Amino acid sequence: MAQEKIAIIGGTGDLGFGLGLRWAQAGQSVLIGSRDAKKAQEAADRIRSAVPGATVSGVENAQAAADASIIVLAVPFSAQAAILKSLKPTMKSGILIDATVPLAASVGGKPTRMLGVWEGSAAQAARELVLPGVAVVSAFHNISADALQDLPSPLDCDVLVCGDNAEAKERASALIKLIPGLRPLDAGALEMSRVVESITALLVALNRRYKVKHSGIRITGLD
């Protein structure tokens, strides 16, 4: 497989930065996107400090999207629609991996509650906001950003991948497999993301109850 060029929109944030770190560690080239190019460059510098020799750069979101073969969207739900609309002219094809969770916390509510999304899920909302040539896949909802950023600690988590385009799911899964300890599982059509996204609210509640930051999921019984 040719190396993908990954852009992480919101790559300065908790989840995006953690994914950037782990892919950089796996030898993957990464573009960190931000609304502010300087902030993106600072995040890229931090990745290079943690992973010497990493191929990572930080640019403004639109440039990151223009230069990528796979775009990961890692922004709060409250920002999802505006950022996708702003990237629409740039993102004409390729794959969008949406990690957005419509937690009530993104609009000032509780992190253990979900918002109702008319389209069914944040991922389905994303699909309505991108051009038809862009294949939307959803993933990474149930992985802790803290665990991703804790480089010395091995990961131990399944990543449920939803989408309506089989090739796009395979390419997203190949990227997930590059990160040791993560196992991608094909969770079905994009509409199944409604279930996967809501597991995050459960994990937030479990983190609080058990006073941890790293809870995740493993599905048993699969070969």
Ligand X SMILES: NC(=O)c1ccc[n+]([C@@H]2O[C@H](COP(=O)([O-])OP(=O)(O)OC[C@H]3O[C@@H](n4cnc5c(N)ncnc54)[C@H](OP(=O)(O)O)[C@@H]3O)[C@@H](O)[C@H]2O)c1
- The footprint of ligand X (CB under 6 A) covers 10, 12-16, 34-36, 39, 74-77, 79, 82-83, 99-101, 103, 140-141, 143-145, 200
132 or 211: whose CB is closer to ligand X?
Answer: 211
Nearest approach in angstroms of CB 76 to ligand X is 5
Nearest approach in angstroms of CB 166 to ligand X is 24
Backbone angles phi, psi at 149, to 5 degrees: -80, -15
Nearest approach in angstroms of CB 42 to ligand X is 10
CA atoms within 13 A on the CB side of 129: 19
Nearest approach in angstroms of CB 223 to ligand X is 27
Pairing assessment for the beta strands 134-138 and 157-163 based on DSSP bridges: antiparallel
Give the neighbor-by-neighbor strand order of the sheet with 134-138: 56-60, 30-34, 6-9, 70-73, 94-98, 134-138, 157-163, 182-188
3-state secondary structure of 187: strand
101 or 135: whose CB is closer to ligand X?
Answer: 101
Nearest approach in angstroms of CB 54 to ligand X is 19
Cβ neighbours of residue 23 closer than 8 Å, sequence gap 6 or more: 6, 30, 175, 178, 179
Burial of 154 (0-12, 13-18, 19+ CB in 10 A): exposed
73 or 135: whose CB is closer to ligand X?
Answer: 73
Do 197 and 123 contact (CB within 8 A), yes or no?
Answer: yes
214 or 221: whose CB is closer to ligand X?
Answer: 214
Measured from each CB, the residue nearest to ligand X is 13
103 or 185: whose CB is closer to ligand X?
Answer: 103
